[in-house]
Amino acid sequence: MKSEQIFINDKDILGGVPVFRGTRVPVQSLVGHLKAGETIEDFLEGFPSISRKQAQVFLEIAHKEAS
């Protein structure tokens, strides 16, 4: 999966903040939940419009970019 299939940043959606595609949920929300010690399951429960696949692929992309 390509990053554009997972998240987008469009100036017309939350002022260009990267969000999961098809939602208004910022990708930073997932990062924040994980940094706070929550699990992916906790995040997905709170944001049911995000698929597990989207969350996993986003984390893979973020990890590659951080390396």
pLDDT category at 5 given cuts 50, 70, 90 is: confident
Sorting pLDDT into bands at 50, 70 and 90, what band is 66? confident
Q: Which domains does the chain have, with CATH numbers?
A: 3-66 (1.10.10.10)
**DSSP codes of every residue in 4-62:** HHHEE--TTSGGG--EETTS--BHHHHHHHHHTT--HHHHHHH-TTS-HHHHHHHHHHH
Q: Dump pLDDT digits (tens) for 7-65.
A: 999 999 999 999 999 999 999 999 999 999 999 999 999 999 999 999 999 999 999 98
Tell me, what's the pLDDT at 35? 96
